[in-house]
Amino acid sequence: MEAPKPFFQIVLLFLLLSAYPNAFIHTALAEGVTPEEAKQLRDEVRGMFYHAFNGYMEHAFPLDELRPLSCGGEDTLGGYALTLIDSLDMLALLGDWEHFAASVEWIGRNLRFDINKTVSVFETTIRVLGGLLSAHLIASDYATGMKIPSYNNQLLNFAEDLARRLLPAFDTPTGIPFGSVNLLHGVDEHESKITSTAGGGTLTLEFGVLSRLTNDPIFEEVTKNAVRGLWARRSKLNLVGAHINVFTGEWTQKDAGIGTSIDSFYEYLLKAYLLFGDEEYLFIFQEAYAAAMHYLYNDPWYVEVNMDSAAIVWPLFNSLQAFWPGLQVLAGDIDPAIRTHSAFFSVWKRYGFTPEGFNLATLSVQQGQKSYPLRPELIESTYWLYKATRDPRYLDVGRDMVASLQYGARCPCGYCHISDVEFHKQEDHMESFFLAETVKYLWLLFDLAVGPDNLVENGPYKYIFSTEGHLLPATPQISLVHEHCSYIGAFCKIADYKQESHTSDIATGLQEANGSRLHEGQVHSRLPSFTSGLIKGFCPELSHGQKFGITYLASVDTTNQYESANKREPTILQSHSMGVVPNQSSEYSRSDNDNDNLQESSEGGSEREPPHPSQANWKPRTCEVLFTLYVNYDYEFE
């Protein structure tokens, strides 16, 4: 029988981390971090949140953000109490029903979006739309323990109103949205046609959740089309650039990386699959991740390369890359995540914070990128690695981060940007994401260490964190579990499928990208292997082309136009050199026996040829997913 697919492993790990948070607990905490100290650190982080939140409410509300040095406020996004909206689910996570309910009620009475303001589509989506949706899902559900009796879907109504005001941004020939839109008048005729890959490809979770809550598919459709528009214009190496023209589809900046301007594009590919069960996102993630590990990974760092030639153009660690180890945990690629996190944290230890840019050639702070704007990404990865491994070293890391923030960034009314990490010079600004993400992941880290008692770890649902740290639950309404039935493992209600257990091997493509390349004499570690103890069989599955009606055409080879600075000949992943073109007919069918007759490509790739349209008697299976899962790691800690 055909071996389980790579996404089987990804879902196994995600479900395991969610369902069995105590699976890898060590009996001792970090050296010096006793259980009592871990509790004290958790309470200290709680105090950090309220120092900043109360400072905002007393000195800045209802303006968008706090000026923590001067104890004032400023409107930075749209003038609609941004920090309060961004903080709602953190209040719920802390169990602060009183503040949560009061905040929701104030927003329900006062928020409005019919204002003449031009706003960032990306920032408005992840901060405001995501904050409203997360709080709505908590406030409307008794199972969360934070139900507000008087609540009547006001936040959901505001979220829908806001999203409809953002929709004009998607009216482009490529489907990739403009970067900004006016909430009252739509897209200005002089609006720039250049947007970032992250800006166009990091909208799927919030818009997808909204579609499923309102039963209006338009929101999910436009954001999915944006992802397809970006992916269709990838290079032959399966890399995407940093900036693109939304009208012509031409890349205006061809630097490929995992950091600035691209980062959350990768993040939302995997998370959209985990939340919605849509295999197309996973297919793209597998291709994109394999290429990133092949061309961008210089163990343990990541560099930026030309998307066509793979020539290194920027040997730089930028702070936005620090989310990557956390994403690798969700993807099941633990070993490189551990090594990369250790390298990134060494920069934090050196300066007390991570600068926006650290030059890997000179081993110094990049000129003009010396600031630390209270970013959460490294803290987020620390939380995920501790959750996956329970290695006590990550509690040491968290303790150091708390100390840095307390002694370097704390100011009279909140926490300040650090304008220069070498001299710890403070700047009078506090981004809303400090409350939405930075302290959230720190608090979750230490709460996990002392025995978690919160909505994420012990709540009624499994949660996906948005790129802004908002909690999006995998409820039946949002996460259509039946869509996973062909991929996770299931009982197939048909007589000719026997109950069998399976062992999943690591993905061949990821082995090629992560297991066989040499970097300065070192070999990448293997991905963890996963074993399912009680999987009862697999329903037959459609190929990606069959399921989504997409044909792959070889794109024009432009790599000869470029020469690698180090004369390296890039290895073309033959099965990945594709363009995306919709088929006129996307309804493929096949008989039960045809599942075994599909041939792999001659290059050894995993893509299958679509069946002939005449094979018209394929029917979907009805499946019951079995979520009793086990995992086995192939690594040991030092």
Show which residues are catalytic: 123, 263, 356, 377
Angle at 358 between CA 357 and CA 360, to 5 degrees: 135
- The span from the CA of 484 to the CA of 627, in Å, is 11
CB 481 within 8 A of CB 277: yes
> What angle do the packed helices 82-93 and 130-139 form, to 10 degrees?
40
E strands, 212-300, in order: 243-245, 251-253, 255-256, 297-298
List, in sequence order, every residue forming a beta bridge with 516; answer none if it has no partner: none
Cβ atoms of 182 and 193 within 8 Å: the answer is no
* Cβ atoms 188, 175 nearer than 8 A: no
Six token digits for residue 171: 């009216």
DSSP 293-354: HHHTEETTEE-EEETTT--EEE-EEEGGGGGHHHHHHHHT-HHHHHHHHHHHHHHHHHHSS-
Q: Tell me the two tokens of residue 604.
A: 């050894």
Q: Is the previous residue joined to 300 through a cis bond, with omega within 30 degrees of 0?
A: yes
Strand ranges, E, within 503-627: 503-504, 518-519, 522-523, 530-531, 550-553, 579-582, 623-625
What token pair was written down for 447? 């709460």
- In the numeric block, the tokens 């019951």 are attached to 624
Measured between alpha carbons, how far is 346 from 8 in angstroms, rounded to an integer? 34
Q: How far apart are CA 98 and CA 448, in angstroms?
A: 24
Q: How far apart are the first and last CA of the chain?
A: 38
Cβ(138)–Cβ(158) below 8 Å = no
Q: How many CB atoms lie within 10 A of CB 352?
A: 19
Which residue matches tokens 């019919």?
A: 114
Quickly tell me which residue has 């802390």 as its tokens. 94
Number of C-beta neighbours around residue 613 at 10 A: 11
User: What secondary structure does DSSP assign to 12-68, as a single string?
Assistant: HHHHHHHH-TTTT--SS-STT--HHHHHHHHHHHHHHHHHHHHHHHHHTTTSSEEET
In order of 254, 350, 359, 374, 442, the CA distances from 356 in angstroms are 20, 14, 10, 10, 20
Backbone angles phi, psi at 128, to 5 degrees: -85, -55
- The total of other beta-carbon atoms located within 10 Å of residue 188's CB is 12
Of 172, 81, 74, 162, residue with least CA distance to 120: 162
Backbone angles phi, psi at 522, to 5 degrees: -110, 150
Q: Which residues of 320-338 are buried (b: 16+ CB within 10 A; e: fewer)?
A: bbbbbbbbbbbbbbbbbbb
Distances (CA, A) of 155 to 142, 206, 303: 16, 13, 41
